[in-house]
Amino acid sequence: MSETKKAWILLADGTLLEGESFGAEGTSVGEIVFNTGMTGYQEVLTDPSYYGQIVIQTYPLIGNYGINYDDMESGRSWVNGYIVSEWCREPSNFRVAMTVDAFLKEQGIISISGINTRKLTKKIRETGVMNGAVTTEYSEEKRGEFLQKIQEFTIQNAVKTVSCRVPEKVISSGSKRHVVLIDFGYKRNIVRSLTSRGCDVTVVPSHYTAEQVLSFHPDGIMLSNGPGDPAENNDIIKNIKKLTKANIPIFGICLGHQLMALATGAKTEKLKYGHRGANQPVLDVAKDRTYITSQNHGYAVVTDSLDSKTALLSHVNANDGTVEGVKYKNFPCFTVQFHPEASAGPKDTAYLFDEFIAMMEKEAQ
């Protein structure tokens, strides 16, 4: 076995942790967040919503079923760094194509193992998300230089960076409806969830105007998930506001949920450490039933900012009471903060896609 190489985590508050390098070598700065999922590390690594972030996996063993090409949520990894307690060198899965280490090397993701992820996660929970660096190049002489880069780091142009550049159409076997999916950093399973229900899907770039979106003559519009501060997307918010006047059914997920809220006059706020994992309990108010959901977000809609004349609170986080879903009264639209396509329960909240289909069918009559 080759000799292990050291790696370090340096936090904005000066905390220094030493571990072992795996994946790529070098230095990467980002916002450090944690994910509590027991499985789904490949989906985490390829979810565009993690753009600009260094991810801690709280589950102690990562990589035990390796990496395959079928479960990629996008064409590449978007994380700025990866922190685990232990990674598996000999994965077992009939679909395995490579180890997590090989994948991270291929993607150029600087990673560290041998870390007490429980202790680090507790620190983030207590102090809130903070910037940090994962590096194989640390020295005391460079400490000041590292800390300056860490403190100056901000996530910029997130949606623009992860969004597609040109439209792409995916044809379903049924071709009953046509949905335009505005790509703020979408996950592939959103498209699969729609095509499996007979919807052709046209994925369009985030910067497309309302007029460009409507030129595809969609039966419905989806606002995808994505990274960054939702309030920074001023032009997108203006376009969404125009789309609400077209009387076409709209379904928003995660960032799409937040952007719709902003377009209708509500506000968003940054959470202390966000919701990231496959075990977030959410109450569906109308059904009076709690579902286990998959989530990945650092911002939330401010409850008191929702206008009761136009917006109805449909879902609530059972842990902290934050907004998890909104139904709009003046136009056909509903949005959720969680990921119904992510099969956390495993398919508890897939009914929302069925409701979207039903809404399109109703409007078509």
356: nearest Cα among 324, 322, 329, 327: 327
Q: How far apart are CA 263 and CA 234, in angstroms?
A: 9
The active-site residue out of 31, 178, 254, 333 is: 254
292: nearest Cα among 352, 350, 345, 346: 345
Is the CB of residue 46 less than 8 Å from the CB of residue 36? no
341 is catalytic: yes
- Please give the full DSSP string across 295-310, using - where no structure is assigned: EEEEEEE-GGGS-TTT
Span between the terminal Cα atoms of the chain, in Å: 67
254 is catalytic: yes
Angle at CA 224, nearest 5°, toward 218 and 225?
A: 175
Helices vs. strands in the chain: H and E counts, helices first: 10, 19
339 is catalytic: yes
- Please report, as a single letter, which amino acid is at residue 273: Y
Q: How far apart are CA 329 and CA 65, in angstroms?
A: 45
Q: Which residue carries 């942790």 as its tokens? A: 17
Q: How far apart are CA 235 and CA 159, in angstroms?
A: 12
Structure tokens belonging to residue 125 = 């929970």
DSSP label of 341: G
Structure tokens belonging to residue 87 = 């990674």
- Please report, as a single letter, which amino acid is at residue 54: I
The residues carrying an active-site annotation are 254, 339, 341
